[in-house]
Amino acid sequence: HSSADLVATFTEFSAIAISRSIQDHVPNLDQMQALIASGGGVRNGYLMERLAAHLPASLRLTTSDEFGIPAPFKEAIKFGTLAFANLNDLANNIPAASGASKFTVLGKRVTPPRAAKGI
């Protein structure tokens, strides 16, 4: 088997795993019109093609770029939303995804020592 075969197999596996996770954990998926993907994987045309093939045909797969949010900014945006939730005492976990027993506020606030505040 060639390297290309191996990459194609891993890509197909990834598309199936992502699709199954979405279908298992996203409530009311059948009522949604579009699914917005972000992160570096959206630049992999073959992965996006295979992911779309494994999702319900009625669901349009698009990227966050379409909404003015560059796909590579996924990590920065996620950390920002987690920080916002923490600072506003909003639950920011998904018990069904993590196995936690309840919704809760994640993260720890750390303030600098007084001596460092004037820097």
Q: Residue 117: pLDDT above 90?
A: no
Tell me the percentage of the chain whose pLDDT exceeds 90: 76
| 104 occurs within a structural domain | yes
Nearest partner of 59 among 94, 23, 24, judged by Cα? 23
- Residues with Cβ within 8 Å of residue 61, at least 6 apart in sequence: 34, 35, 37, 48, 51, 52, 55
> Average pLDDT for residues 69-74, to the nearest whole number?
92
Residue type, 47: L
Could you give the number of structural domains in the chain? 1
Please list the residues that pair with 60 across neighbouring strands.
34
Tokens 């596996």 correspond to 13
Residue 116 has what pLDDT? 66
pLDDT 10s digits, 13-69? 999 999 999 999 898 999 999 999 999 999 999 999 999 999 999 999 999 999 999
Q: Which range of residues forms the domain containing residue 46?
A: 3-108
Domain CATH number, residue 35: 3.30.420.40
